[in-house]
Homo-oligomer: A and B are copies of this chain.
Amino acid sequence: MVAERAGVSTATVSLVANGKASGRVSASNEILVREAIRELGYVVDSIGSSLARGVSNTVIMVAPDISNPFFAMVIAGVRAALGSEYQLLLSVTDAGQLPSAENTRRLLGLRPAGLLVDAPDPTFLQELSAPGPMVLLDAPGFGSDVPAVNLDVAQGALAIAAHLSATGHTTVAYLDGDTGTTTFDVRREAFLTAAEELGMSVPPEAQIATTINVGLAANAFATAWPSWKKAGVTAVVCATDTHAYGILQEARAAGILIPGELAVTGFDDLPYSTTSSPGLTSVHLPGELLGRRAAEQLLSLIAGEELEQQPITLESSLMVRGSTLEP
């Protein structure tokens, strides 16, 4: 360690570099060390530090679906809560893949101070052992024994059902995501249940699923539309805004009137949903808050505190726009 060329032992340097000098290092030595550090441009090697300490100062966030602009909001929230003490590193899964235990275990080798896992695979917890501080995001159905921050998407699904019912729809279609994310199951089941209670029908042939991709959603819709039309479908509920954009696009190309012939709704309330034509009725999900709360929980965990009341659930709200309501 070069820094000690300025007179003292590595122990003293370590104390100063880690801000643990007060009361344990003489003022004169501290100054000497600081000067040496500056002159040599020394940066604590976090590998060595992590090895000695047992943990790194890295928080790793595992997430699928980074292409979703919604995700950027979540990240912003995480960063805001984490501050500068911890370094946030993102581990992205391949497109359409959920974070797996296998994957995450490799990350554990980096000795993260904590783990944030977004939309994990349902079997995730059973497979991953000895995790250390970990908070799940957007992971409904993992029970109350594991720290998690969820979005109340069911509430949003109910709001959609109520809104469609109130605007006179009786037969609706459902365009699902096919990534297997649990939140999609919750969205769908909540909607189907509410729809049934409200007397709306969702014919089996009007329940399809595609990857979260505008083009693929457009294609799927183009193929399905004739049979939907025959079945009397007048509205389609999409699992994400991205799916809905596909429908908007295809509908324009095919001359299908939105919302006259077909009303369309989404989930996420992405920025583009205000811009699209017509504007997209969508369930607004508080992404920034989701990230912030999850990071706060993780910080508590890292500090060794007990968490109360799990999981935390964040409310959603329906933004009604032109895709379901004639201006």
Interface, chain A (partner B; CB < 8 A): 41, 43-51, 56, 58, 60, 66-67, 69, 71-73, 75-76, 79, 87-92, 94-95, 105-111, 129, 213-215, 242, 245-246, 248-249, 252, 271-272, 274-277
Contact = CB atoms under 8 A, between A and B. Distances in A.
Contacts of A106: 43, 46, 87
Given A88-B91, A90-B90, A252 B272 contact: no
Contact of A94 (B79, B109, B242, B276): B79
A46 B110 contact: yes
Contacts of A111: 45, 47
A92 B77 CA distance: 12
12 contacts: A41-B129, A43-B105, A47-B50, A49-B109, A66-B75, A75-B92, A87-B107, A89-B90, A110-B110, A214-B274, A215-B271, A242-B271
Given A50-B47, A215-B271, A248-B275, A91 B95 contact: no
B276 A275 contact: yes
A275 to B, nearest CB: 4
Contacts of A242: 271
Contact of A69 (B69, B76, B95, B107): B69
Contacts of A79: 92, 94
A242 B41 CA distance: 40
Given A87-B91, A242-B271, 18 more contacts: A41-B129, A43-B105, A43-B106, A45-B111, A46-B109, A47-B56, A60-B89, A66-B66, A66-B75, A67-B72, A89-B89, A89-B90, A110-B110, A214-B271, A215-B271, A245-B275, A248-B275, A249-B275
